[in-house]
């Protein structure tokens, strides 16, 4: 597992250029919605940004900064959305997100982090294998009669904690879509939390155990492909699991599955939905979803990486699949927000922020909804149960007329299932 | 890092009263981002004592007055992309202008925009494009402050058809170093923002000078800048995902050409003739090692391109021309004139793959979105010269660069790139800007000395030859040495500084 010291080069290279706070030049649209870092937009200090966090990491590492009052809270306000990382990497060979995650891991290692709500989540996961402390036996309760499962299939649908316990509709819709498209799959009753909440809060050793468990379950059941409708699970399988061991399974998001099925004429979207929507790219499905490729080498003169490194710059995130499917729904009009694809603004639902700083999470979601409204859309669509919770909380708090739809819900309606 | 020097309690409390507790901080972790070592120079700035974020000109005035009362030294900052560092002495107060980020007005009729300090290039550029307007935009990156750039710097790629940013600065609102609010130019007599000079001497020149705000004369809280008509698309038609964006402009009215010439003199003469003919949105002799860094994504990609030798073969004596026109006919006319000039001086097109990069990334000419890539070789990057004079003089200066520069190349201290300087004409060749950019390996043990040594040698060359090629920094020893070349400007700027800032609290420099 990578250590904070692995990111010395990143820390040393930063020149405070500020790109980690602003939308990328090619995507510029105007004064509004030009900022992409939630903590910087809210608090404005340089310290509240990718740059600030890596500066703090460097001083901690060098013993120039102590774990003073407020530091741990500061480090954990970041939503780990990775907008800073992708923006920095559009111009630099630096690992901003991984440095922030390694900084959190270091805080945990030093016995200073995470914050109490994250510790509580870890205890729940340890005892019940899900973040909410719900009984493990109820993990598959969302499964309804009439769903065709194939015990021998080498494809598994992985629901994830948030879907299984809080948004069972997403799970039900997903399996109905898979059935409609004629894909044989299993539901694994011994799936555990994917590990995202632990990984993103620096509790990497506990996250490792979950990764090992799930990988073993996949292996035992002959699973070669894991389908998920949760962006956090998707990004964790691709971004975290390869740090433990080379994965022997492929991960696909339900939007990619539907896209393939539509292209192969295995599904037909017939139902007309008169609706104008804007699509929110979840961070771990979009810019942070490229597979992690371990790199061990040396950074030489002029920053040359020997051997060459495979960079995750957010180029190949899952951006087109959900859009292609949504556009194929009769009557549905898709409009884009200024900050979209790799430039999407976070919903506030990640990085352990909702548990530790619910007001800030709400503020972040409200900022995103404001942008969604500015497009003239009457609904925001996304493809992650965590985004759903974040947005629904903000909609309820604001009594907004804007609606939220999960991607799978719209597809099921258009399939007239 | 030395221990953080804090502000006296009563000063902190007085400041807190002005902005509220949310907008002032002195905890070491909040200050960490303001004392980070700059990879371009290796200099670790001292820690500030605190940082404060005013929300209005009145708050700025109050803060400045408190600083004067208590002898607290301060500096204003927006994004920190500036090369000089923010904190020059321990215990300073950083006045971060982030909250003052509004576009006050875009006047399409009189063609000016009024902005606060924290409006970024990426914001204003898009807003004025929407209205069919543009402004000179320094190649300083999308996230840098328009206002800070207009005050401190402002050379850019399209100044052939416009000018340095500083020449587009109109009326402005200024909090003097002692805390008076002054409105300058036409603004002073209620006539609006359109003009930088009222009756009497130009205060713009007095407080800004050629070298910009390095002099540290208070805080500018609003500026108006002049706008020009924009011949390009009102909304960018960007394709692709980061970092592989493509931003083409309509090819019937926008084209890029790069020609190589047999000698630097021919480059100079072709450049001069294009100015006389008043063609070209942009005409430049560009630094080609920088180009190779800009147009590759990773350091390794750069190395592959550089080792191929293509740029070294094609670009040391090349001229870049970007033509922009309202109609295809106008473009055809400019192209014919350009080709006549190129032919006269023996120019020929460079490898098409190089030109294609520019055609696919026209943002190079409006707002270099990928500018920070110059730092991707570990951050070891630095400019020198940065002065302006006639085109001919700039090429004389360039001809003398090998005298001091090749030694650094030969000893492997900087990346091998002969003639790796840029000359950009401004106002159709009435003047030109020169910049010598170099990459150094900051993994070397002696790397921290390299930029300073190159700058020193460059200055000595200027003094030896009597060249006007530098923008003198506000470093006393350097000003004293370069002063005689520029009518002893330092005597005047020092007098101005003493008059306006008797307590020497505003951006005092390293002392
Ligand atoms: C890689 C690189 C390339 C660059 N290329 C160019 C270029 O091509 N052309 C060019 O012109 N510049 C260039 N620069 C220089 C730099 O970007 C500019 O000076 C920039 O405009 C600074 O903007 P900023 O927002 O970072 O300002 P800051 O760094 O925040 O401020 C710069 C300085 O301006 C002063 N200042 C800021 N705001 C105010 C205010 N409101 N009132 C008074 N003083 C103030 C302060 O003294 C501060 O230290 C380059 C810099 C880098 C690192
Ligand atoms: S974009 Fe990268 S180099 Fe620039 S300030 Fe942010 S972290 Fe530093
Ligand atoms: S991960 Fe997101 S919230 Fe955290 S510093 Fe980066 S952009 Fe800001």
Reference A1, options A194, A297, A199; nearest CA is A199
User: Which residue has tokens 């006393």?
Assistant: B476
Q: B51: Cβ below 6 Å to ligand 1?
A: no
Helix (H, G, I), strand (E, B) or coil at B332: helix
Between residues 34 and 93 of chain B, which touch chain A (CB distance below 8 Å)? Answer: 34, 36-40, 51, 53, 79-81
| pLDDT, position B64 | 98
- A148-204 residue pLDDT tens: 999 999 999 999 999 999 999 999 999 999 999 999 999 998 999 999 999 999 999
Contact A130, A165 (CB under 8 A): yes
Exposed, middle or buried: residue A375 (CB in 10 Å: 0-12, 13-18, 19+)? middle
Structure tokens at A64: 């120039």
Query: What is the spatial distance between Cα B464 and Cα B478, in angstroms, rounded to a whole number?
Result: 14
Say whether B247 and A26 touch across the interface (CB within 8 A).
yes
Centre of ligand 2 from the C-alpha of residue B59, in Å = 29
B144 contacts chain A (CB < 8 A): yes
Give A253's strand partners.
A228
The ligand 3 atom at the shortest distance from the C-alpha of residue A96 is: 6
| pLDDT, position B496 | 86
**Residue of B52, B122, B245, B450 for testing the chain A interface, max A β-carbons within 10 Å:** B122
Structure tokens at A165: 């316990």
Reference A185, options A237, A230, A234, A226; nearest CA is A226
Count CB neighbours of B349 within 10 A. 14
Does residue A267 surpass a pLDDT of 90?
Answer: yes
Query: What is the spatial distance between Cα A174 and Cα A233, in angstroms, rounded to a whole number?
Result: 15
Contact B52, B76 (CB under 8 A): no
User: Per residue, what are the HEC states of B394-417?
Assistant: HHHHHHCHHHHHHHHHHCCCECCC
| pLDDT, position B210 | 53
Contact A277, A197 (CB under 8 A): no
Contact A367, A61 (CB under 8 A): no
What are the structural domains, with CATH classification, of chain A?
1-113 (1.10.1060), 116-263 (3.40.50.1860)
Q: Where are the domains of chain B?
A: 9-96, 103-229, 241-465
| pLDDT, position B228 | 97
The segments of chain B whose pLDDT lies below 70 read 1-3, 83-84, 199-202, 205-215, 511
Query: In CATH terms, are B103-229 and B241-465 the same topology?
Result: no
Query: CA distances (Å), A9 to each of A4, A18, A92, B45, B94, in order?
Result: 11, 18, 11, 19, 27
Contact B179, B64 (CB under 8 A): yes
The ligand 2 atom at the shortest distance from the C-alpha of residue A49 is: 6
Q: A82: Cβ below 6 Å to ligand 3?
A: yes
What CATH number labels B9-96? 3.30.43.10
Query: What is the spatial distance between Cα A162 and Cα A159, in angstroms, rounded to a whole number?
Result: 8
Average pLDDT across chain A, whole number: 97
**A81: Cβ–Cβ under 8 A, 6 or more apart, which residues?**
A37, A38, A283, A288, A346, A350, A351
Contacts of B138 in chain A (CB under 8 A): none
**Would you give the DSSP letter of residue A166?**
I
B484 Cα to chain A: minimum distance (Å): 34
| Among the partner residues B34, B300, B376, nearest to A46 by beta-carbon distance | B34
The ligand 1 atom at the shortest distance from the C-alpha of residue B81 is: 26
Reference B7, options B43, B37, B50; nearest CA is B50
- Tell me the mean pLDDT in the region A248-257: 97
| pLDDT, position B151 | 85
With vertex at residue A361, the alpha carbon angle to CA A357 and CA A366, rounded to the nearest 5 degrees, is 150
Give the largest Cα separation in chain A, rounded. Answer: 63
- A354-378 residue pLDDT tens: 999 999 999 999 999 999 999 999 9
| pLDDT, position A384 | 98
Contact A34, B143 (CB under 8 A): no
Q: B158: Cβ below 6 Å to ligand 1?
A: no
Exposed, middle or buried: residue A409 (CB in 10 Å: 0-12, 13-18, 19+)? middle
**In B36-174, where does DSSP find H-type helix?**
57-70, 121-130, 146-152
- A29-41 residue pLDDT tens: 999 999 999 999 9
Does residue A93 surpass a pLDDT of 70?
Answer: yes
SS3 content of chain B, % helix, strand, coil (to 5): 40, 20, 40
Query: What is the spatial distance between Cα B421 and Cα B430, in angstroms, rounded to a whole number?
Result: 19
Ligand 2: which residue has its CA nearest to atom 8?
A: A14
| pLDDT, position B287 | 94
A253 Cα to chain B: minimum distance (Å): 20
Query: What is the spatial distance between Cα A175 and Cα A229, in angstroms, rounded to a whole number?
Result: 10
Q: Which CATH class is domain B241-465?
A: alpha beta
Reference B59, options B8, B108, B116, B132; nearest CA is B116
A356 Cα to chain B: minimum distance (Å): 20
* Chain centroid, CA B405 distance in Å: 23
Query: CA distances (Å), A139 to each of A158, A189, A355, in order?
Result: 11, 7, 21
| Cis check: omega of the bond before B291, within 30 degrees of 0 | no
Q: A39: Cβ below 6 Å to ligand 3?
A: yes
**A340: Cβ–Cβ under 8 A, 6 or more apart, which residues?**
A279, A281
- A41-53 residue pLDDT tens: 999 999 999 999 9
- Tell me the mean pLDDT in the region A106-110: 98
Domain B103-229, CATH 3.30.465.10 — does that match?
yes
* Chain centroid, CA B192 distance in Å: 27
- B267-305 residue pLDDT tens: 999 999 999 999 999 999 999 999 999 999 999 999 999
Contacts of A304 in chain B (CB under 8 A): 299-300, 303
| pLDDT, position B201 | 60
Cβ pairs bridging A and B (under 8 Å): 209
């Amino acid at each position: 597992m990578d250590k904070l010291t692995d990111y010395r080069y990143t820390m040393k290279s930063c020149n405070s250029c500020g790109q980690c706070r602003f939308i990328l030049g090619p995507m510029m649209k105007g004064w509004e919605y030009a900022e992409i870092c939630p903590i910087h937009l809210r608090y404005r200090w340089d310290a509240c940004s990718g740059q600030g966090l890596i500066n703090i990491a460097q001083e901690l590492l060098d013993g120039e900064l102590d774990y003073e009052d407020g530091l741990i809270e500061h480090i954990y306000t970041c939503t780990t959305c990775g907008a800073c990382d992708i923006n920095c990497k559009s111009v630099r060979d630096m690992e901003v997100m991984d440095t922030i995650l390694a900084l959190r891991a270091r805080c945990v290692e030093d016995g200073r982090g995470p914050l109490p709500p994250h510790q509580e989540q870890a205890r729940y996961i340890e005892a019940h294998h899900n973040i909410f402390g719900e009984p493990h036996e109820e993990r598959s309760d969302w499964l309804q009669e009439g769903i065709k499962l194939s015990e021998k299939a080498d494809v598994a649908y992985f629901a994830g904690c948030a879907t299984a316990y809080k948004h069972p509709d997403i799970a039900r819709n997903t399996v109905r879509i898979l059935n409609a498209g004629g894909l044989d799959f299993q539901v694994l009753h011994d799936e555990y939390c994917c590990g995202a909440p632990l990984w993103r809060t620096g509790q990497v050793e506990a996250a490792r155990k979950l990764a090992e468990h799930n990988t073993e379950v996949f292996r035992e059941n002959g699973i070669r492909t894991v389908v998920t409708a949760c962006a956090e699970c998707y990004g964790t399988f691709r971004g975290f699991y390869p740090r433990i061991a080379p994965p022997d399974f492929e991960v696909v998001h339900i939007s990619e599955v539907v896209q393939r099925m539509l292209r192969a004429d295995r599904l037909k979207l017939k139902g007309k939905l008169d609706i104008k929507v804007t699509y929110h790219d979840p961070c771990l499905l979009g810019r942070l979803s490229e597979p992690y490729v371990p790199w061990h080498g040396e950074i030489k003169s002029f920053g040359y990486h020997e051997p060459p490194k495979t960079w995750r710059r957010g180029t190949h995130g899952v951006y087109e699949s959900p859009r292609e499917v949504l556009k194929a729904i009769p009557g549905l009009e898709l409009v884009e927000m200024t900050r979209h694809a790799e430039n999407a603004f976070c919903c506030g639902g990640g990085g352990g922020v909702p548990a530790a700083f619910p007001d800030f999470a709400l503020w972040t979601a409200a900022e995103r909804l404001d942008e969604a409204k500015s497009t003239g859309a009457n609904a925001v669509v996304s493809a992650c149960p965590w985004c759903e919770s974040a947005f629904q909380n903000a909609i309820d708090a604001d009594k907004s007329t804007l609606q939220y739809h999960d991607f799978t819900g719209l597809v099921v309606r258009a399939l007239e299932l | 890092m030395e221990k953080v020097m804090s502000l006296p309690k009563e000063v902190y409390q007085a400041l807190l009263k002005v902005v509220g507790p949310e907008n002032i901080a002195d905890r070491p972790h909040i200050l960490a981002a303001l004392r980070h070592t700059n990879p371009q120079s290796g200099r670790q700035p001292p820690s500030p004592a605190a940082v404060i974020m005013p929300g209005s000109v009145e708050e700025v005035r109050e803060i400045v007055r408190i600083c004067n009362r208590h002898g607290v030294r301060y500096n204003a900052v927006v994004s920190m992309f500036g090369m000089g560092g923010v904190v020059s002495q321990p215990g300073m107060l950083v006045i971060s202008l982030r909250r003052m980020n509004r576009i006050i007005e875009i006047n399409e009729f009189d063609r000016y925009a009024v902005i606060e300090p924290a409006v970024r290039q990426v914001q204003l550029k898009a807003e004025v494009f929407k209205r069919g307007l543009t402004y000179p935009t320094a190649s300083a990156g999308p996230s840098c402050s328009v206002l800070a750039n207009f005050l401190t710097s402002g050379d850019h790629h399209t100044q052939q058809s416009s000018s340095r940013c500083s020449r587009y600065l109109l009326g402005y609102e200024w909090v003097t170093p002692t805390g008076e609010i002054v409105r300058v130019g036409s603004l002073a007599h209620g006539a609006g923002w359109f003009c930088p000079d009222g009756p009497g001497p130009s205060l713009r020149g007095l407080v800004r000078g050629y070298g910009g705000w390095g002099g540290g004369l208070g805080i500018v809280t609003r500026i108006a800048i002049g706008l020009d008509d924009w011949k390009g698309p009102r909304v960018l038609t960007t394709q692709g995902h980061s970092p592989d964006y493509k931003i083409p402009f309509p090819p019937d009215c926008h084209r890029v050409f790069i020609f190589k010439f047999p000698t630097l003199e021919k480059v100079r003469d072709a450049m001069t003739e294009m100015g006389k003919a008043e063609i070209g949105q942009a005409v430049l002799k560009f630094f080609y090692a920088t180009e190779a860094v800009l147009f590759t994504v990773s350091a390794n990609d750069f190395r592959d391109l550089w080792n191929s030798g293509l740029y070294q073969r094609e670009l040391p004596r090349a001229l870049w021309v970007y033509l922009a026109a309202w109609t295809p006919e106008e473009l055809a006319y400019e192209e014919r004139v350009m080709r006549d000039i190129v032919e006269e001086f023996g120019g020929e097109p460079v490898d098409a793959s190089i030109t294609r990069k520019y055609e696919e990334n026209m943002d190079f000419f409006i707002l270099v979105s990928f500018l920070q890539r110059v730092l991707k070789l570990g951050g070891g990057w630095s400019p020198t010269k940065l002065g302006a004079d006639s085109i001919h003089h700039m090429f004389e200066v360039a001809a003398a660069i090998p005298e001091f520069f090749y030694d650094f190349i030969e000893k492997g201290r900087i990346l091998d790139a002969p003639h790796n300087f840029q000359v950009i004409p401004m106002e159709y060749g009435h003047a030109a800007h020169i910049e010598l950019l170099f990459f150094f390996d900051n993994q070397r043990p002696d790397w921290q000395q390299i930029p300073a040594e190159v700058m020193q040698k460059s200055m000595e060359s200027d003094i030896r030859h009597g060249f006007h090629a530098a923008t003198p920094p506000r470093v006393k020893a350097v000003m004293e040495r370069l002063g005689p070349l520029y009518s002893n400007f330092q005597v005047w700027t020092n007098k101005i500084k003493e008059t306006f800032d008797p307590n020497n609290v505003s951006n005092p420099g390293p002392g």
